Chains A and B, each alone.
Chain A
Amino acid sequence: MDRRRFLQQAAIWSFSVPLVAHWPFSLPFSIDSVHAASEDTLRVKVGISKGKDYARLVRQSVGLVGGMSAFVKPGMNVVIKPNIAFDRSPEQAANTHPLVVRALAEMALEAGAAQVRIFDRTCNEPRRCYINSGIQPAIEAMANSKVRCEHIDNRKFVDTTIPQGRVLKRWEIYRDALEADCYINVPVAKHHGLARLTLGLKNSMGVLGGNRGRLHQRLDQNLADLATVIRPQLTVIDATRMLLRNGPSGGRLQDVRIENTVLASADPVAADACATLLFGRDPDQVGSTVAAAAMGLGTLQLNRIQRIEG
C-alpha cells in the first residue's frame, strides 16, 4: 500500500465509521448499514410516476431508481408479492392492480429472471381473491411457464427466528419469500382502521402463516421486527387507485380515489413514507414506518429522501 492509497483509505474510513455509528440503533455488524452509508449519496431515491398507462408507470418508476436490472440479475428466482387479500375487483382498490403486477413480471423476465413467483396469503377465500382481483387472469394471459401465480402451499411455512426482533421473536414465514434471490414487494396503498394506512411493511404479512390477527396487538413494532427478516430488494407501491375509507377491504367506489401514481424504491421505509404523503398525512403518522425507521431499516426523514418524479 502506497502513501496515497493509505491516506485515501484513512480518509474514507474516518469519514464513514462515525456515520455508521451515527445511524440510530444500527448494529455494529450490520453490513447493510455500512453499505448504505458508503454510497455516494446519503439521500435515498424514491421514483414516483403519474399517468394512466399503469404498465408504463411501473417501468418509469422502477427506471428512476436504477431499472429492473439493478435488482434482478440473470438466473435469479424472483418473488413478486402483491396484495391479493380480498375478494374484490380491481377498481375497488383493495388489491394491487393486475396491470402493475403483470408489468413487474414482464420486467423481471426481461432482466433475465429464471423464475417469477407471485403469491399472497389472502384474507378471503384464496381462489376468489386470485381470480376476482384480476391478478391470476393477468398472469395466466402472459402464458409464460417461468411466471407462476401460485396459491399458498401450507407445507412451505417455516418456523423462523427473528433475531433482531424486539417483540416478535419467531413466526412461520413462507419459504419462497425467504429464499427468493430478489423479493419485490408490491402493496396497494389503502386505508386501514388500526394501522391508519396499509403500505409496504404491512403487505409483508401476506407471507406469514399462523394466526396473523395476533400481530395486531403490537402491530407497529411487529411489522418493524418482521422487516428485519423479510427484506424486499425493491418496493413498488401501487397508488393508481387509493382506498380512502372502509379499508382494507373496501367495496365502495365512493371510497376510492383515482391517483394514477406508482412509487418505487429500494428502501422499504422511504417508499412507505412517500406513499403516506399521497393521503395527505405525515410519514410519522404511520406507526410501522416510524418503528422500522427507529430500527435502522430505512429512511423516514423526507429531507433524506430524494423524490424523483418522472
Chain B
Amino acid sequence: MNKTARLFVILLLGFLLLVLSFVYAHLLFLWFLLSLLLLLVGMLLLYPQGKTHISHGDDLEKERARLEAAINTLQVGFLLIDADHNLVTLNARAQAMLHVVPPLPEEYFYKDLPIINNNFTMQKLEEVFSDETNLKGMIDECILKKKPLEKREVSFGKKYFHLMLSPIVVFKQKPEVIGCVLLIEDATEARVLEKSRDEFFSIASHELRTPLTAIRGNISLIEQYYSSTVSDERFKHMLSDIHISSQRLIHIVDDFLDSSRLEQGRITFAKEVVKVDELVEVISKEYQSVAKEKGVTLSYDKPKTTVVAIGDPDRIKQIVINLVSNSLKHTEKGKVSLTVTSSEKSVTVRVSDTGMGIAEEDKKKLFTKFQKTENHTYAKDATNGSGLGLYISKLLAQGMEGNVTLEESTVGKGSSFVLTLPIAKE
C-alpha cells in the first residue's frame, strides 16, 4: 500500500507540473520535459503493480482449485458445515461414502466432482444417519462447546464409520465459531480385523489349552489316585516329569495370551479396594512349602495397620506371585522377605532376596519381552520358560496405574523388586 501511495504522489506531481507548464507558458521547456518524465516513470512503476492486481485474481483462482483438489483427494469424507447448519462443502469421498453419487471410478471423483452437491442438503445428511447417531446433536454440541467430538463405530448400512467433528474458530475480538468440519472415516475394515483378532484369541486359547488340560488333568489324577499301584520309581519319575512339563506348557500358553491381551488393551481391570497386607499374607503362606523345599526362609513383615490399594485383586495377586516365585527360584540360600508399606499416595510391596542378583548390563533388559539376561536367564526362568513374567507383571501394574521396578540388585548379594499401587483413600 505504501508503495502504491508513493507512486500516486509521483504521478500527481508530474500531472501538476504539466498543468503548471501549460498555465505558465513562459516557464522553461525543461519543466515540461521534467513533468513528462515524472509521469512516465510513475506509469512504468505502476504498470507492474497493476499487473500484480490482475495476477492476484489468478492466484486466488489457482489457490481455490488447489484447495478443492486437495479436499477432493482426501481419503476421508470431508464436510464443512456453517454456524447456521448449512452444508457448505462436501468432498468427493464423502459423496461416495454417503451414496450421494452412484459408485464411479476413483479418478472421476478426484478430478471432476465439485465439492458441493446442491441436491444434498444438511437435512439429508442428518437423515442418512440413524437417530441413534444424532448427528444434529453432535454438531450443536461441537459449535456450542467449541470442542472437537468423535463417535466411533457408527453403523451406516453394512459399514462402520468413525465420525470426527471439529469446530472452526476465528479470532476477532473474541473467539467465534463460524461452523464445523465433519470428517468421516470408513472403519469397516479395521472392525473386521478386530473381529478376526478376537476370534484368533478365542480359538488359540481354546484349541491349545484343551489338549494340554487333558494331559495335565489325567496325569494329576493318576498321581492322586494310582500312585500306590506304581512301584517302579523310574516310572513314577516319568509321570512326574509329564505332569510338570504339562504345567509349564500351560503357563507358557497363558503368558503368551496374557501379554497379547495386555498389549492390545484387552484386559479389563477391576477397580476395587484391596487389602494388600492380607493378600500378601495369603501368598506368603501359600509359598512357605516351596521355600522350605529349597531351604530358603520366606518371611513376611505384616504391617500393624491395614494397607489398602485400588486395583484388581486377581491381578495384584498374579504380580506378587510372579515376584515371589522369581525370587525363590533365584535364591539358593538365605531368605526372601516381603514387606508392605504405604505413603501418602501409594502402596508398596517389596520382594527382596539374598539370591544371585542381576548384573548391571542385564538390568535394563529385565522388563522387556523375551529378553534373557547374559548371566542367568532371570526373566526366562521366572515364568517356567516363556520369558514374559516380569514383562507381564509390569504391564499389569501399569494397567492399574501402578508399576513394577527393580529397586536394587547386586550380583551375588541379591535383588529387591518393588510393586507400587495407588493407595485407597478412606
Q: Is B truly associated with A? A: no
B interface vs A, CB < 8 Å? none
